[in-house]
Chain A
Amino acid sequence: ETGVTQTPRHLVMGMTNKKSLKCEQHLGHNAMYWYKQSAKKPLELMFVYNFKEQTENNSVPSRFSPECPNSSHLFLHLHTLQPEDSALYLCASSQVRDPAYEQYFGPGTRLTVT
């Protein structure tokens, strides 16, 4: 499989559940990103990993916990979420952590918190 893949594509969870989102890139890139896309709002960068090291956390609540075990995989662990966390969560990768390099996006996970 090529490009950036994300699983699951859709997730419905209660506020007390714990779940994880998975992202995998098959491009040999070294930087990976989590974004949140909410209706009528700009894409919000959540976390950045460069060569497996977290380089950015944009004041994301601790109920979101990222994990990057290697440069091809990125996880977002979710627990005790709020209804306002319902959104499309996008994963992206780029050759290195530099905006001059094109970011390749996955299809996203549509998360609904009930």
Chain B
Amino acid sequence: AQSVSQHNHHVILSEAASLELGCNYSYGGTVNLFWYVQYPGQHLQLLLKYFSGDPLVKGIKGFEAEFIKSKFSFNLRKPSVQWSDTAEYFCAVNARDTDKLIFGTGTRLQVFP
């Protein structure tokens, strides 16, 4: 069965620090990959997605993610975080031969000024 692992459960950073959140999935076939974000008190919303093409994907608010097929990974990065990036981040994977979207457990990011 497919699964998604987010090993960082809680990350605490100071403003301007660089961010990398890990996401690994278990599925050998072709996948669509997503990062969703949930800001405090707000709805879960799409941050970025990868379907094909350039494995480095740019999303909103300066976030990017890199798909490394050989490592089954889709890590989220931001060179310099801001206090407003405090949120919970969810990685999600869809195996293209299914219609299921599988979410990870989420990573809570706290950014201090």
Contact = CB atoms under 8 A, between A and B. Distances in A.
How many residues of B sit at the interface, in one of the four size bands? Answer: 20 to 34
Chain A interface secondary structure, helix, strand, loop or mixed?
Answer: loop
Contacts of A84: none
A21 interface: no
Given A100-B32, A102-B46, A105-B44, A41 B100 contact: no
Nearest to A103: B101
A97 interface: yes
Contacts of B32: 99-100
Nearest to A50: B99
17 contacts: A3-B43, A40-B105, A42-B103, A43-B103, A90-B44, A98-B99, A99-B32, A99-B94, A99-B99, A99-B100, A100-B94, A102-B49, A103-B46, A104-B45, A105-B43, A105-B44, A107-B43
Chain B interface secondary structure, helix, strand, loop or mixed?
Answer: strand
Contact of B100 (A3, A45, A103, A104): A45
Given A41-B105, A45-B101, A100-B32, A106 B43 contact: yes
A100 B94 CA distance: 8
Contacts of A92: 44
Nearest to A99: B94
Contacts of B106: 42
A32 to B, nearest CB: 14
Contacts of B4: 42
Nearest to A92: B44
Contacts of B13: none
Contacts of A105: 43-45
